[in-house]
Chain A
Amino acid sequence: MSRLALSLRINGETHEVLTAPHRTLLDVLRDDLGLTGTKENCLEAECGVCTVLLDGRAVNACILLAAQCAGREVVTIEGLARGAELHPLQRAFVEHGAVQCGYCIPGMLLAAKAYLDEDGAPTEDGIREALAGNLCRCTGYQKIADAVLAAAAALRGSRAGGGGCTHP
Chain B
Amino acid sequence: MSPRVVGHSLPRMDAPGKVTGTAVYASDFALPGMLHGKLLRSREPHARLVRIDAARARALPGVRAVLTAADVPDVRYGGALKDETVLARDRVRYVGQPVAAVAATTREAAEAALAAIEVVYEPLPAVLDLEAALAPGAPLIHEAWATYAAIPILHREGNVCHRARIVVGDVERGFAEADRIFEHRFRTAMVHQGYTEPRAAVASWDSSGQVTVWSNTQLPFEIQNTLAEILELAPSKIRVIVPGIGGGFGGKLRIGVEHVAALLARRTGRPVRVLTTSEEELTAAYPRQGTRVELRTGVTRAGRITAKEGRIWFDTGAFAGSGPGVASVATLVLAGPYKIPNLLLEGYAVYTNKTNCGSFRAPSGPQANFAVESQMDMIADALGLDPLEFRLQNIVREGDEGPTGQVLAGVGLEECLRRAAAAIGWDDRRPAPGRGKGLACGWWTTTGGSSGVYVKINPDGTVALNTGAAEIGTAALTGAAQVLAEELGVDLADISVVSADTFATPFDFGAQGSRTAFAVGNACRAAVADLRRQLVGLAAAQLGVPADALELRDKAVVGAGTRVTLAELARLSQASGGGLIAHGTFIAPPTAYDAKRVEAHVYPAFHSPSFHAHAVDLSVDRETGEITLHRYVVAQDVGFAVNPAAIEGQIEGGVAQGLGQALSEELVYAEGRVLNPNLTDYKMPTALDLPRIESILVQHPSAVGPYGAKGVGEPPNIEPPAAVANAVAAAVGVRVTTLPITAEKVALALSGEGA
**A2 CB to nearest B CB, Å:** 15
Establish whether residues A94 and B15, one from each chain, have CB atoms under 8 Å apart when the complex forms: yes
Establish whether residues B21 and A100, one from each chain, have CB atoms under 8 Å apart when the complex forms: no
Which residue of the partner chain, among A35, A94, A128, A139, contacts B649 with CB atoms under 8 Å? A139
Q: How far is the CA of A123 from the CA of B28 in the complex (A)?
A: 34
Establish whether residues A78 and B648, one from each chain, have CB atoms under 8 Å apart when the complex forms: no
Establish whether residues A44 and B246, one from each chain, have CB atoms under 8 Å apart when the complex forms: no
Which residues in A have their C-beta under 8 angstroms from that of B652?
139-143
Which residue of the partner chain, among A37, A41, A131, contacts B197 with CB atoms under 8 Å? A41
Q: Judge whether A42 is part of the interface by a CB distance below 8 angstroms.
A: yes
**A80 CB to nearest B CB, Å:** 7
Interface centre among A47, A81, A96, A140 (most CB of B within 10 A): A140
Which residues in B have their C-beta under 8 angstroms from that of A117?
none
Which residue of the partner chain, among B28, B198, B473, contacts A138 with CB atoms under 8 Å? B473
Establish whether residues B653 and A47, one from each chain, have CB atoms under 8 Å apart when the complex forms: no
Q: How far is the CA of A132 from the CA of B196 in the complex (A)?
A: 15
Establish whether residues B196 and A141, one from each chain, have CB atoms under 8 Å apart when the complex forms: no
Q: How far is the CA of A128 from the CA of B25 in the complex (A)?
A: 26
**B638 CB to nearest A CB, Å:** 15
Q: How far is the CA of A90 from the CA of B20 in the complex (A)?
A: 7
Which residue of the partner chain, among A44, A49, A78, A133, contacts B196 with CB atoms under 8 Å? A49
Q: What sequence of 0s and 1s flags, for each residue 1-41 of chain B, a beta carbon within 8 Å of any chain A beta carbon?
A: 00000000101101111111111110110000000000000
Q: What sequence of 0s and 1s flags, for each residue 98-135 of chain A, a beta carbon within 8 Å of any chain B beta carbon?
A: 01111111100100000000000000000111011111
Q: Considering only CB atoms, which chain A residue lies closest to B192 in the complex?
A: A137
B447-482 contacts to A (CB < 8 Å): 472-475
Q: What sequence of 0s and 1s flags, for each residue 638-655 of chain B, a beta carbon within 8 Å of any chain A beta carbon?
A: 000000011011101111
Which residue of the partner chain, among A38, A96, A99, A142, contacts B18 with CB atoms under 8 Å? A99
Q: How far is the CA of A104 from the CA of B474 in the complex (A)?
A: 14
Q: Considering only CB atoms, which chain A residue lies closest to B277 in the complex?
A: A43
Which residues in A have their C-beta under 8 angstroms from that of B246?
39, 101-104
Establish whether residues B28 and A41, one from each chain, have CB atoms under 8 Å apart when the complex forms: no
Q: Considering only CB atoms, which chain A residue lies closest to B660 in the complex?
A: A137
Establish whether residues A138 and B19, one from each chain, have CB atoms under 8 Å apart when the complex forms: no
Establish whether residues A41 and B278, one from each chain, have CB atoms under 8 Å apart when the complex forms: yes
Q: Judge whether B392 is part of the interface by a CB distance below 8 angstroms.
A: no
Which residues in B have their C-beta under 8 angstroms from that of A101?
195-197, 245-248, 472-473
Establish whether residues B197 and A100, one from each chain, have CB atoms under 8 Å apart when the complex forms: no
Which residues in B have their C-beta under 8 angstroms from that of A40?
27, 198, 275
Q: Judge whether A55 is part of the interface by a CB distance below 8 angstroms.
A: no
Which residues in A have their C-beta under 8 angstroms from that of B9?
97
Q: How large is the interface on B (under 10, 10 to 19, 20 to 34, 35 or more residues)?
A: 35 or more
Which residue of the partner chain, among B17, B25, B277, contacts A103 with CB atoms under 8 Å? B25
Q: Judge whether B519 is part of the interface by a CB distance below 8 angstroms.
A: no
Q: Considering only CB atoms, which chain B residue lies closest to A40 in the complex?
A: B27
B249-275 contacts to A (CB < 8 Å): 249, 275
Q: Judge whether B207 is part of the interface by a CB distance below 8 angstroms.
A: no
Which residues in B have their C-beta under 8 angstroms from that of A37?
20-22
Q: Judge whether B688 is part of the interface by a CB distance below 8 angstroms.
A: yes
Q: How far is the CA of A133 from the CA of B686 in the complex (A)?
A: 7
Establish whether residues A44 and B646, one from each chain, have CB atoms under 8 Å apart when the complex forms: no
Q: How far is the CA of A57 from the CA of B21 in the complex (A)?
A: 19
**B628 CB to nearest A CB, Å:** 14
Which residues in B have their C-beta under 8 angstroms from that of A94?
11-12, 15-16, 19
Assess A97 versus B649: contact at CB under 8 Å? Given A40-B27, A42-B678, A77-B21: yes
A4-60 contacts to B (CB < 8 Å): 30, 35-44, 46-47, 49
Establish whether residues A100 and B690, one from each chain, have CB atoms under 8 Å apart when the complex forms: no
Establish whether residues A36 and B28, one from each chain, have CB atoms under 8 Å apart when the complex forms: yes
Q: How large is the interface on A (under 10, 10 to 19, 20 to 34, 35 or more residues)?
A: 35 or more
Establish whether residues B19 and A90, one from each chain, have CB atoms under 8 Å apart when the complex forms: yes
Which residues in A have their C-beta under 8 angstroms from that of B646?
97
Establish whether residues B196 and A104, one from each chain, have CB atoms under 8 Å apart when the complex forms: yes
Which residue of the partner chain, among B20, B21, B197, B678, contacts A46 with CB atoms under 8 Å? B678
**A17 CB to nearest B CB, Å:** 16
Q: How far is the CA of A80 from the CA of B27 in the complex (A)?
A: 22
Which residues in A have their C-beta under 8 angstroms from that of B557?
none
Q: Judge whether B56 is part of the interface by a CB distance below 8 angstroms.
A: no
Establish whether residues B684 and A137, one from each chain, have CB atoms under 8 Å apart when the complex forms: yes
Which residue of the partner chain, among A43, A99, A140, contacts B690 with CB atoms under 8 Å? A140
Q: How far is the CA of A133 from the CA of B680 in the complex (A)?
A: 12
Establish whether residues A44 and B680, one from each chain, have CB atoms under 8 Å apart when the complex forms: yes
Establish whether residues A97 and B645, one from each chain, have CB atoms under 8 Å apart when the complex forms: yes
Establish whether residues A97 and B21, one from each chain, have CB atoms under 8 Å apart when the complex forms: no
**A51 CB to nearest B CB, Å:** 12
Which residues in A have their C-beta under 8 angstroms from that of B679?
42, 44, 46-47, 135
Establish whether residues B649 and A102, one from each chain, have CB atoms under 8 Å apart when the complex forms: no
**A126 CB to nearest B CB, Å:** 11
Which residues in B have their C-beta under 8 angstroms from that of A35?
21
Establish whether residues A141 and B21, one from each chain, have CB atoms under 8 Å apart when the complex forms: no
Q: How far is the CA of A37 from the CA of B654 in the complex (A)?
A: 26
Q: Judge whether B553 is part of the interface by a CB distance below 8 angstroms.
A: no
Q: Considering only CB atoms, which chain B residue lies closest to A1 in the complex?
A: B108
Q: Judge whether A69 is part of the interface by a CB distance below 8 angstroms.
A: no
Which residue of the partner chain, among B20, B22, B650, B687, contacts A128 with CB atoms under 8 Å? B687
Establish whether residues A39 and B197, one from each chain, have CB atoms under 8 Å apart when the complex forms: yes
Assess A132 versus B653: contact at CB under 8 Å? Given A37-B21, A47-B196: no
Which residues in B have their C-beta under 8 angstroms from that of A30?
28
Which residues in B have their C-beta under 8 angstroms from that of A132?
686-688
Establish whether residues B11 and A95, one from each chain, have CB atoms under 8 Å apart when the complex forms: yes
Which residue of the partner chain, among B21, B275, B474, B653, contacts A137 with CB atoms under 8 Å? B653
Q: How far is the CA of A89 from the CA of B533 in the complex (A)?
A: 44
Q: Considering only CB atoms, which chain A residue lies closest to B16 in the complex?
A: A94
Establish whether residues A80 and B20, one from each chain, have CB atoms under 8 Å apart when the complex forms: yes
Establish whether residues B473 and A100, one from each chain, have CB atoms under 8 Å apart when the complex forms: yes
Establish whether residues B19 and A105, one from each chain, have CB atoms under 8 Å apart when the complex forms: yes
18 CB < 8 A contacts A-B: A36-B21, A39-B28, A41-B196, A42-B278, A78-B22, A95-B11, A100-B247, A100-B649, A101-B197, A102-B18, A102-B246, A129-B688, A132-B687, A137-B193, A137-B195, A139-B656, A140-B654, A142-B693
Q: Closest 9 interchain pairs by CB? A: A37-B21, A101-B473, A103-B246, A102-B18, A140-B656, A77-B21, A46-B679, A140-B652, A36-B28
Given contacts A99-B14, A132-B687, A139-B649, 5 further A-B contacts (CB under 8 A): A39-B197, A43-B278, A90-B19, A137-B656, A144-B687
